[in-house]
């Protein structure tokens, strides 16, 4: 099976789209020939994709294109037909898919905004919404197969491996790969204000973090703080931590499958609805929006909840119910296979 994946990552839009597509591609790769198509924006992560052994077609970074122009640019690079096109891109909708139909037999869209029409055979939205079944009713063809909710979370293989034990007062900080607002720097300042003496913190950033050098200097005096850049062992860090401070997005589902309690700061508008609903389910605590935060407030919240182990344990159990170990990427692959076989009769 030939699979084409159209996805972008950058300092501006973050790396979450790339990471979840890589997780899906890794599961597909034993049975498929996979090609990624990405634009060469700053922080595009093309080297990471290529290092995983996937074919990569890089489109030039240009002024914003409309959907038909983006499709035309992609088609210029394609010399074969594909069995499945996977689109994970907020700027691409039905017009892009329609332009690609002649080159791709089936189309799958990964989305969570539900704000535009799609011409697709499969749509996956791994987020948790109270109105999930109705969000895409008017946005996809009646024949489209919907995969909705965290049981379809696109998680890397590491999240299904054996885990190290949780460690007391170990904090994980992760505000995404690019972290345009540099919430990581604020979190480090907050950790420095904690009165507890036995704190260890793991700080995770992506290779494209715009303040990477400044963060290294910021951490130079902190003996018990460790910086991890573009690490491939996030599951290990999540299982070891007793509490996470970070953003929403894909990390919600990674945290949930690891049963890790979380203090969440939303860094984009599209993170708010799911984060609010998860907080209502007791699976995290939503601290608010990034622009509302300060180092002293984050320090106070960390200090408070580190001293409430029973409450953290309750949050841990609630999170683990959201994404059980039976869910995830392997389940998505099984569903894709089942749907395509069903379409073919």
Q: Which phi-psi region, left, alpha or beta, contains residue 45 (left: φ > 0; alpha: ψ -120 to 50)?
A: left
Contact 191, 173 (CB under 8 A): yes
Which has the closest alpha carbon to 72: 92, 86, 90? 92
Which has the closest alpha carbon to 251: 312, 174, 329? 174
| 280 labeled binding residue | no
Please report, for residues 246, 306, 311, 321, the alpha-carbon distance to residue 318 in angstroms, rounded to integers and kept in the order given.
Answer: 18, 18, 11, 5
In which element (H, E) is residue 228 found?
strand 225-229
Task: Look at residue 221 in the predicted model and tell me its pLDDT.
Answer: 81
| 156 labeled binding residue | yes
Which has the closest alpha carbon to 58: 41, 79, 34, 71? 41
Angle at which helices 329-343 and 16-28 cross, to 10°:
70
Task: Look at residue 345 in the predicted model and tell me its pLDDT.
Answer: 64
Shared domain check, 191 and 120: no
Domain range for 116 is 2-154+328-343
Q: How far apart are CA 26 and CA 9, in angstroms?
A: 18
Shared domain check, 335 and 309: no
CA 39 to chain centre: 19
Shared domain check, 162 and 147: no
Q: Which residue has the tokens 């995290």?
A: 284
Q: Which residue has the tokens 């951490």?
A: 219
pTM, entire model = 0.89
- Of 17, 89, 118, 252, which residue is the catalytic one? 17
Shared domain check, 177 and 150: no
- DSSP-derived secondary structure for 245-295: EE-STTHHHHHHHTT--EEEEE-SGGGHHHHHHHHHTTS-EEEEEGGG--H
Task: Look at residue 202 in the predicted model and tell me its pLDDT.
Answer: 97
CATH of the domain at 51: 3.40.50.11190
Which has the closest alpha carbon to 206: 18, 21, 72, 340? 18
Structure tokens, 187 = 């979190």
Shared domain check, 9 and 145: yes
Q: How far apart are CA 335 and CA 106, in angstroms?
A: 14
Shared domain check, 97 and 206: no
CATH of the domain at 239: 3.40.50.2000
Shared domain check, 131 and 199: no
Ranges under pLDDT 70 in the chain: 63-64, 345
Task: Look at residue 287 in the predicted model and tell me its pLDDT.
Answer: 98
Question: Is 17 annotated as catalytic?
Answer: yes
Q: Which residue has the tokens 């900080």?
A: 173
Shared domain check, 303 and 167: yes
> Strand, helix or coil at 312?
helix
Shared domain check, 182 and 122: no
Shared domain check, 236 and 268: yes
- DSSP-derived secondary structure for 329-341: HHHHHHHHHHHHH
> Strand, helix or coil at 35?
strand
- Number of domain units in the chain: 2
Shared domain check, 309 and 175: yes
Q: How far apart are CA 14 and CA 21, in angstroms?
A: 13
Task: Look at residue 61 in the predicted model and tell me its pLDDT.
Answer: 86
């Amino acid at each position: 099976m030939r699979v084409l994946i159209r996805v972008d990552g950058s300092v501006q839009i973050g790396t979450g789209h790339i990471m979840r597509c890589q997780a899906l591609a890794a599961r597909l790769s034993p049975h498929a020939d996979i090609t990624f198509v990405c634009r060469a924006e700053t922080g595009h992560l093309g080297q990471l994709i290529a290092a995983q052994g996937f074919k990569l077609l890089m489109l030039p970074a240009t002024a914003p294109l409309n959907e038909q122009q983006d499709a035309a640019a992609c088609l210029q690079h394609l010399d074969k037909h594909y069995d499945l096109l996977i689109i994970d891109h907020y700027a691409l909708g039905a017009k892009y898919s329609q332009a690609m139909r002649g080159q791709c037999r089936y189309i799958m869209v990964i989305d969570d905004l539900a704000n535009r029409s799609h011409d697709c055979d499969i749509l996956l939205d791994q987020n948790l919404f109270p109105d999930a079944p109705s969000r895409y009713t008017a946005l996809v063809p009646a024949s489209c197969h919907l995969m909705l909710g965290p049981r379809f979370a696109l998680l890397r293989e590491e999240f299904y491996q054996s885990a190290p034990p949780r460690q007391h007062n170990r904090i994980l900080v992760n505000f995404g790969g690019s972290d345009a607002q540099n919430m990581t720097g604020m979190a480090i300042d907050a950790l420095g204000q904690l009165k507890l003496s036995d704190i260890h913190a793991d700080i995770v950033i992506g290779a494209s973090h715009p303040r990477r050098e400044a963060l290294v200097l910021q951490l130079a005096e902190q003996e018990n703080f460790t910086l991890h850049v573009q690490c491939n062992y996030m599951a290990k860090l999540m299982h070891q931590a007793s509490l996470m401070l970070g953003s929403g997005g894909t990390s919600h589902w990674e945290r949930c499958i690891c049963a890790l309690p979380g203090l969440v700061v939303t860094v984009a508008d599209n993170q708010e609805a799911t984060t609010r609903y998860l907080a209502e389910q007791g699976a995290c605590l939503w601290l608010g929006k990034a622009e509302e935060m300060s180092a002293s407030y984050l320090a106070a919240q960390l200090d408070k909840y580190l001293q409430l182990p029973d409450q953290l344990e309750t949050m841990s159990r609630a999170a683990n119910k959201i994404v059980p170990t039976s869910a995830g990427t392997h389940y998505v692959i099984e569903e894709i296979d089942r749907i395509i076989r069903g379409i073919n009769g």
